[in-house]
Amino acid sequence: METFPLPAAPPAAPPAPAGAPAAAAGNPPKAGKADKPAKPDKPALSPLVEAARAAVVPLLETQLAPTLTYHTLRHTATVAKEARALAAAAGLGAPDTEALLVAAWWHDTGYLDVYDGHEYRSMERAAAWLATQGVPAERIELVQSLIRATHRDEPAETELQKLLVDADMSNLAREDFQASAELLRTEWEVALGQAYSSEEWAELQLTFMRSHHYHSEAGQARYNKDFKANKKAQRKDLKKIGKKAKKRTEAQTGTFAEPKRGIETMFRTMYSNHMKLSDMADKKASMMISLNAVLLSVIITYLGAKSSALGPSFTRNPMLAVPMGILLLTSLGSVVTAILSAQPDVTSFKWLKKSPEIATNRRVNLLFFGNFTKLSLDNFQAGMRDLMREKDMLYTNMVTDVYYLGEVLARKYGLLRKSYSVFMVGLILTVLSFCIVLAYKS
């Protein structure tokens, strides 16, 4: 909390000794040094200003939301301090200085109730407090008009309004301008949910600074030099941030993606393993299909051979139909699952036909014909150009391809496992049933 002590009265000059020249009594400056223009003394604080400070400080210390990182008590005290300095520079009288400083202390108290349009709530709070201090109505209206002028959409017309607005925007000319701007950025993000990237924020700040100007002569004399320096520094920062962003963009999209040896080896190994596993599954499925096809042929031939030499034996032993039936069902189930395993499986997305322009969707693999054949030639070419320029997109497509290859392999091996399991269980049941038939016959 900043305090503003009353200026001490200058010490009285000692009486001149008898006989001394009159100039000696005033202690004139040494010869040879030019007189420098003295800075205007800051006006003394009136009791009403001290009371305003005493009323506002506890309010902001205890009731201000912690999400307000810029519009804090420190900001209000700084505005009051700058307003006092501007009042001295402008040579204001005591009544005008009092109104200016009271308005400076109360101008942001509306943040206790509302964010947008807080100036109007500050006017109400200031008017209510001034009424308790017995301030005349016309003086209350004057303070309210000063607070109203700090709103971004209200004009600053009178000299007092211009001085308060300049004091409120004095942060643009301070050395810690960048730090205070970051506090405001944090406040907007937390309190309003408005997040900006570094480049967006720098551009927003520079745009505001280009459109801003100090209104009063005292404000221009006090701030313009440092304000222009800060504006220049902000312009340099924006260029620097823009160059960094441009380099990042060029690194991702400027040229064709350059593959790395380690990543290439990894993907080559993965693709090779998937192809070998797929080939092994197809060979196993082919073996099961051939074996069961032979069994089915034998069984069907045996069951249908009524006029052959096998016919009478089958007629004399009808119980043989049980193991033969089990073996028939076993071969049929095994060969069906083996055929499903060897059946070509193409991963596809039906929604891609409805939205073919989504060629850059991370679920869509442009490297696989099952996807890109659903796209138009223009969409496919545009997607491939983006794919060749962006490293992340290129590797995402390759990872997606490997993922769906794995899904196909998982389905293929699952069906193949079922085929072998059915064949194994069926053979066991066939042998058991045949043994039971033989035991029963004997």
> What tens digit of pLDDT does each residue of 26-81 get?
333 343 433 434 455 555 688 999 999 999 999 999 999 999 999 999 999 999 99
Q: d(Cα 95, Cα 417) in Å, to the nearest integer?
A: 96
The total domain count for the chain is 2
Beta-carbon contacts of residue 412 (< 8 Å; ≥ 6 apart): 278, 281, 285, 341, 342, 345
**Domain identity same for 200 and 272:** no
23 vs 376 pLDDT, higher one? 376
Residue where one domain finishes, among candidates 252, 277, 293: 252
**Domain identity same for 409 and 432:** yes
In a domain, residue 18? The reply is no
pLDDT of residue 239: 87
Residue where one domain finishes, among candidates 206, 224, 252: 252
**Domain identity same for 214 and 353:** no
In a domain, residue 291? The reply is yes
Beta-carbon contacts of residue 37 (< 8 Å; ≥ 6 apart): none
**Domain identity same for 63 and 132:** yes
Query: What is the rounded average pLDDT of the residues 278-307?
Result: 81
**Domain identity same for 245 and 394:** no
**Domain identity same for 148 and 111:** yes
What is the pLDDT of the chain when averaged over all its residues? Answer: 80
In a domain, residue 190? The reply is yes
Query: What is the rounded average pLDDT of the residues 95-115?
Result: 94
User: pLDDT digit string (tens) for 398-412?
Assistant: 888 888 888 888 888
The CA distances from residue 152 to 86, 156, 285, 336, 415, in Å, are 21, 10, 77, 78, 71
**Domain identity same for 380 and 405:** yes
In a domain, residue 198? The reply is yes
Which domain range does residue 390 map to?
Answer: 261-441
**Domain identity same for 65 and 207:** yes
Tokens 């201000």 found at: 64
Beta-carbon contacts of residue 28 (< 8 Å; ≥ 6 apart): none
**Domain identity same for 175 and 195:** yes
User: Within 10 Å of residue 77's Cβ, how many Cβ atoms?
Assistant: 20
Residue 23 has pLDDT above 90, yes or no: no
Output the six-digit token pair for 376: 């138009």
**Domain identity same for 232 and 329:** no
User: pLDDT digit string (tens) for 267-289?
Assistant: 888 888 888 988 898 898 889 89
In a domain, residue 427? The reply is yes
**Domain identity same for 296 and 173:** no
Identify the three-state secondary structure at position 429. helix
CB 115 within 8 Å of CB 191: yes
Residue where one domain finishes, among candidates 252, 284, 319: 252
**Domain identity same for 109 and 232:** yes
> Percentage of the chain surpassing pLDDT 90?
40
Q: What is the CATH number of the domain that holds 68?
A: 1.10.1300.10
Most confident of 193-202, 298-307, 309-318: 193-202
Q: How confident is the model at residue 369 (pLDDT cuts 50, 70, 90)?
A: low
